[in-house]
A and B are shown apart, each in its own frame.
Chain A
Amino acid sequence: MAYDKFDVLTSTAYPLPTENVDTDQIIPARFLKATERKDFDINFFRDWRFEQDGTPKADFPLNKDIYAGSKILVGGRNFGSGSSREHAAWSVYDFGLRCVISSAFADIFKNNCLNVGVLPVQVSAEFADTLFAAIMADPKTEIKVDLPNQTVTLVATGESESFVINTYKKENMLNGFDDIDYLKNIENEIAAFAETRPF
């Protein structure tokens, strides 16, 4: 499914410093029964955002008006662990987020994000702490994520760190391409390879 291109994003951010946020929290299994991809924002962090009766939990960062409309989420270490459900990445995207920043991501979640147009930005633990502190001090803190230059910057102070992304994935994100575009282009090469497989 196509996604909007990613270039330079400047936005306020939701802070979620809890560590080891697993994809069962990002979207609980009972909301994975759809057969098409739409409206996954509704149950994004369902059990952390809402009481069982549907009342929003006022103190949860994603419910606070002061952060509303942010396109970045700054998460705690080991963000997105557990289940491979891509629905978690879809729910991030559908909620309006285009970038998750953390000091460490779980592998599958990170891959899924890249495949659906959400940029996972891995920063040092120190820089993550700097970002959390800045957001806590001023909820309107803006963060600039510059994909072409691979930098993430606190706009107010200019504090900045570079991040890693391979050239191939970077080009994909910049252009809104995905891996199937690439793979279909080399299908003859794949077919020849398949012939060599013993089973």
Chain B
Amino acid sequence: MANTLFDKVWDSHVVRQVKDGPDVFFIDRHFIHEVTSPVAFLGLESRGNSVVYPERTFATADHNTPTINQHLPVEDPLSANQLDALENNAKKHGISHWGLGDVNNGIVHVVGPENGITLPGATIVCGDSHTSTHGAFGAIAFGIGTSEVEMVLSTQCIMQPKPKSMRINVNGKLGLGVTPKDVALYIISKQTTSGATGYFVEYAGDVFENMSMEGRMTVCNLSIEMGARGGMIAPDAKTFEYLKGRSQTPKGADWDKAMKYWETLYSDENAEFDVEFTYDAADIEPMITYGTNPGMGMGVTKSIPLAENVEGGVDTYKKSLGYMSFSEGDSMIGKEIDFVFLGSCTNGRIEDFRAFCSIVKGRKKADNVTAWLVPGSHKVVDQINAEGLDKIITDAGFVLREPGCSACLAMNDDKIPQGKLSVSTSNRNFEGRQGPGSRTLLASPLVAAASAVSGVVTDPRTLLV
């Protein structure tokens, strides 16, 4: 029987099927962070349970951490308390912990792959919806709630009905200035913010085959933004090359054995998907969002659609544009901005900093723009420095901050003020996402860089030629 990649990985992790119920689903790797885990540990302890496989869980602090002066005590007592809770829970239960200042610390979805914890064919969960990132390696990875975090800690399983399958093909050659982020925002704009609800997505086609691992992570990361539980890409030579030799990948004979299995991880030729979509790379231009969900995106040179031309309720659409202080038919190019945020689990990797630097090199930050450049991990920082990107950044008038989730969700002090407009490389433009009253335009690192040096929303292609 012909199977999809998703079937192969899912079915091999089903401990048992509950009659007219979910599958008991085994989890190979579990990431935890300070925000969604403390109540799970309380639950575990109140029931008198213990962590059954502590070696399968990995803790890192990221959501609630400051991005300056990380060597000093955390000022906000509530944040400090959460960070302490994570450290104490990890220590008590024998779980590895990369706290603030640790050389391996960073955003959970950046450090997992970097350290080879993320593997093809594995099942990976975390109390964070962007866990879908790890699907870039051919893993089944998705976000869970805190009750499920407790389930994994105490039993290494969760109970999940198997999602339906969707394949999204993108073929052709991407144009100048079109990045993986644009590919993802384009797909989401076609699917809408809920189009893939109930599905697990496989991305296929030469656009993804030709994409770097960093780019694949960006695409899979954003799967949740069209409602999909997760997204995945079949592992290939590029995947194995990325993983080989990383600190926690299998070594020696174990590597060879793993490779034998990983090479079977692809959708069989006649495998059937519940639904399939195909897009043409030539139709994709640098993207930008204009509304309050990631499905409200368009080519940066386009105008905001008229309410009569969009799916869904007119009232919701008008509420969204009203929040953004935009009007139907507005062009985004030339809109004055206040902030630029480069970072997050979506675009906080080395390639994203390279892309940003390719535009700001030899230029200067616009005076009206406050820019927060936040690498995804200490390893990314080291790479930035090793490649001399730090000098380009500094010469252009920018400052590099310390790793963390930062202004993506503004749990720490990195909050975009009321009413201010931010071009952000993160993943969500929801109302208040980057701070109460903040207004977010999601875009690629290239659009962010072009806008940062121009002070207005700018098509990066005008600066790349």
Q: Point out residues on A near B: beta carbons under 8 Å.
A: 1, 17-20, 22, 24-25, 28-30, 32-37, 47, 52, 76-78, 81-87, 89, 104-108, 111-112, 115-116, 166-169, 178-180, 182-184, 186-187, 189-191, 193-194, 197-199
Between A and B, 17 residue pairs with Cβ closer than 8 Å are A17-B313, A19-B312, A24-B430, A24-B431, A29-B411, A30-B410, A37-B39, A52-B418, A81-B194, A82-B129, A106-B194, A112-B145, A116-B147, A167-B21, A179-B158, A180-B151, A190-B155
Nearest CB of chain B from residue A146's CB, rounded to whole Å: 19
Q: Are B49 and A184 in contact (CB under 8 A)?
A: yes
| B436 x A182 contact (CB < 8 A) | no
Q: Contact: A197 with B431, CB < 8 Å?
A: no
Complex Cα spacing A99 to B409, Å: 28
- Closest-by-CB residue of A relative to B409 is A29
Docked CA distance A17–B144 (Å): 26
Q: How far is the CB of B110 from chain A (nearest CB, A)?
A: 18
Give B40-84 interface residues, CB cut-off 8 Å to A: 42-43, 47, 49, 52-53, 63-64, 76, 78-79, 81-82
**A185–B254 Cα gap in the complex (Å)?**
33
Q: Does B319 reach chain A (CB closer than 8 Å)?
A: yes
Bound: A87/B455 CA distance, A: 37
Tally of contact residues, B, Cβ under 8 A: 79
**B residues 5-62 touching A (CB-CB < 8 Å):** 15-16, 18-22, 24, 26, 28, 35-36, 38-39, 42-43, 47, 49, 52-53
Of B15, B19, B197, B430, which is within 8 A of A25 by CB?
B430
Chain B residues with Cβ under 8 A from A83's Cβ?
128-129, 409, 428
Which residue of chain B lies nearest to A113 when distances are taken between CB atoms in the complex?
A: B145
Q: Are A186 and B258 in contact (CB under 8 A)?
A: no
Known: A36-B39, A47-B431, A199-B119. A166 touches B436 (CB 8 A): no
Whether B428 and A78, one on each chain, are in contact in the complex, defined by CB atoms closer than 8 angstroms, is no
B431 in contact with A25 (CB, 8 Å): yes
Q: Check B432 against A28 for contact (C-beta < 8 Å).
A: yes
The chain B residues found within 8 Å of chain A, CB to CB, are: 15-16, 18-22, 24, 26, 28, 35-36, 38-39, 42-43, 47, 49, 52-53, 63-64, 76, 78-79, 81-82, 85, 119, 122, 127-129, 143-148, 150-151, 154-161, 163, 193-194, 197-198, 224, 227, 229, 250, 254, 257-258, 261, 293, 312-313, 315-316, 319, 409-411, 418, 428, 430-433, 436-437
Q: How many Å lie between the Cα of A74 and that of B315 in the bound state? A: 16
A110 — nearest CB in chain B belongs to which residue?
B197
Known A106-B197, A184-B154; judge A115-B313 contact (CB<8 A): no
CB contact between B155 and one of A35, A166, A180 (< 8 Å): that residue: A180
Once the chains bind, are B156 and A168 in contact (CB under 8 Å)? no
| Residues on B with beta carbons closer than 8 Å to the beta carbon of A82 | 129, 224, 428, 430
List A contacts of B78 (CB < 8 A). Answer: 33-34
Verify A84–B293 contact, CB threshold 8 A: no
In angstroms, Cα B225 to Cα A81, docked, is 8
List chain B residues, Cβ under 8 A from A35.
38-39, 42, 81-82, 85
Contact call B316/A190, Cβ cutoff below 8 A = no
Asked if residues A107 and B197 are in contact (CB atoms below 8 Å), the reply is yes
Please determine whether A20 and B194 come into contact, CB atoms closer than 8 angstroms. yes
Assess whether B82 is in contact with A166, with CB atoms less than 8 Å apart. Answer: no
B145's partner among A115, A168, A186 (CB-CB below 8 A) is A115
Q: How far is the CA of A106 from the CA of B38 in the complex (A)?
A: 24
Residues of A within 8 A of B158 (CB): 179
Q: Are A47 and B432 in contact (CB under 8 A)?
A: yes
Q: List 12 other contacts, CB 8 Å, given A18-B319, A85-B36, A86-B146.
A: A19-B316, A52-B436, A78-B193, A78-B227, A107-B227, A166-B21, A167-B20, A168-B159, A180-B47, A183-B154, A190-B157, A193-B26
